[in-house]
Amino acid sequence: MEFQAIYETWRHVFKLDPERAISDEQLDAICMSGTDAVIVGGSTGVTFDNTVDLMSRIRRYEVPCALEVSSEEAAVPGFDHYFIPLVLNTDRAEWMAGRQIGALRAFGAFIPWEITSAEGYLILNGEAEAAKLTGANAALDAESVTAHIYMADRLMRLPIIYMEYSGKFGDMELVKRAGRITAAARLFYGGGIDNADKARLAAEAAHTVIVGNAIYDDLAAALSTVAAVAEVPYSGK
Ligand SMILES: CC(C)=CCC/C(C)=C/CC/C(C)=C/CC/C(C)=C/CC/C(C)=C/CC/C(C)=C/CC/C(C)=C/COP(=O)(O)OP(=O)(O)O
Ligand SMILES: O=P(O)(O)OC[C@@H](O)CO
Ligand SMILES: [Mg+2]
């Protein structure tokens, strides 16, 4: 039987930022919402302590919980899965295979490989913290996005391509186009989903839809995205 990674069935995911405060009541609503998983991650201010703290609170619930590791210091044991971002659309090599290699030197022998996956990040909102931090070239035209997808999916054979618009709702035609040409990777989409209508559009365009900031800005709207994603089939393969 072929091995199936935990995230391959995820359609809806909430992303919680260890740097931001969340009350027990809010966390209860997120973890009991029916979402497929919770990812812990953020681009700045993520520490070992705030990551352990958030993980142990989420662990009171049955929802699968993954860590998107954005710094070596915040690699915390005990998650169900680990995602390692590699930024594809930057000229600064440290964000594609520099810092990650430093972390692999430190953790190589202890990494649970069967539950660790690389994510090829395409950061497409130049205003996002992650874009500023990594010097991402967010202004890619459709042909350049296609070339990046070919590189990630066909040449590098990354298991996940993450189209990241963090803070802004993206171009769903571009996301759909990426989905059409992706052969094996799973397509994650995140950015600016703050109501059920946007969640439906994103669910049509990507395998997995990730909701982050709305949790902190308007929890009820964030919760409404769970059922909305479940209503819509993915339009690609
Ligand atoms: C036993 C044990 C210790 C287990 C763990 C072992 C393990 C799996 C170790 C990991 C080893 C490893 C290879 C780690 C890599 C660490 C590293 C330095 C990765 C670099 C990641 C990277 C490219 C970061 C840049 C920023 C980025 C793309 C972050 C991704 C998340 C993201 C975009 C969040 C959104 O951020 P947010 O702050 O919410 O943004 P907004 O403000 O715009 O909303
Ligand atoms: O915070 P938002 O804009 O929902 O984006 C979600 C996620 O893609 C961030 O990494
Ligand atoms: Mg955020």
The closest-lying atom of ligand 1 relative to the alpha carbon of residue 111 is 6
- 220 occurs within a structural domain: yes
- 160 occurs within a structural domain: yes
Give the number of whichever ligand sits closest to the CA of residue 210: 2
Instruction: Confirm or reject: Cβ of 211 under 6 Å from ligand 2.
Output: yes
Give the number of whichever ligand sits closest to the CA of residue 19: 1
Q: Atom 18, ligand 1: which residue's CA is nearest?
A: 71
Q: Going residue by residue through the chain (237 aa), what tens digit of pLDDT does each one get?
A: 678 999 999 999 999 999 999 999 999 999 999 999 999 999 999 999 999 999 999 999 999 999 999 999 999 999 999 999 999 999 999 999 999 999 999 998 999 999 999 999 999 999 999 999 999 999 999 999 999 999 999 999 999 999 999 999 999 999 999 999 999 999 999 999 999 999 999 999 999 999 999 999 999 999 999 999 999 999 998
What are the distances in angstroms from CA 62 to CA 29, 44, 93, 128, 137?
Answer: 13, 27, 38, 31, 38
Structure tokens at 191: 């950015």
Q: What is the rounded (10 degree) CA torsion for 77, 50, 218, 226?
A: 0
Q: What is the rounded (10 degree) CA torsion for 125, 127, 131, 136?
A: 70
pLDDT score recorded for residue 1: 60
| φ and ψ of 223, to 5 deg | -65, -30
| φ and ψ of 158, to 5 deg | -70, 145
Give the number of whichever ligand sits closest to the CA of residue 165: 2
- 189 occurs within a structural domain: yes
Q: What is the rounded (10 degree) CA torsion for 222, 16, 212, 207?
A: -100
The residue whose CB lies within 8 Å of the most ligand 1 atoms, and thus the one to mutate among 100, 122, 161, is 100
The residue whose CB lies within 8 Å of the most ligand 1 atoms, and thus the one to mutate among 70, 92, 129, 160, is 70
Task: Count other C-beta atoms under 10 Å from residue 129's C-beta.
Answer: 15
The closest-lying atom of ligand 2 relative to the alpha carbon of residue 213 is 1
pLDDT score recorded for residue 153: 98
Ligand 3 centroid–CA 1 distance in Å is: 37
- Say how far apart CA 234 and CA 12 lie, in whole Å: 12
pLDDT score recorded for residue 140: 97
| CATH number of the CATH domain containing 51 | 3.20.20.390
- 237 occurs within a structural domain: no
Q: Is 14 helix (H, G, I), strand (E, B) or coil?
A: strand
Q: Is 5 helix (H, G, I), strand (E, B) or coil?
A: coil
Q: Atom 19, ligand 1: which residue's CA is nearest?
A: 70
Instruction: Confirm or reject: Cβ of 164 under 6 Å from ligand 2.
Output: yes
Give the number of whichever ligand sits closest to the CA of residue 78: 1
Report how many domains make up the chain. Answer: 1
Structure tokens at 86: 């590699």
- 62 occurs within a structural domain: yes
Q: Atom 9, ligand 2: which residue's CA is nearest?
A: 166
pLDDT score recorded for residue 108: 86
196 near 225, Cβ under 8 Å? yes
- 2 occurs within a structural domain: no
- 31 occurs within a structural domain: yes
Instruction: Confirm or reject: Cβ of 153 under 6 Å from ligand 1.
Output: no
Task: Count other C-beta atoms under 10 Å from residue 69's C-beta.
Answer: 24
Short-list 193, 148, 186, 147, CA closest to 172? 193
> Rounded to the nearest 10 degrees, what angle do helices 24-31 and 219-231 cross at?
0
- 74 occurs within a structural domain: yes
The closest-lying atom of ligand 1 relative to the alpha carbon of residue 96 is 23
Instruction: Confirm or reject: Cβ of 170 under 6 Å from ligand 2.
Output: no
Domain assignment of residue 176, given as a range: 8-231
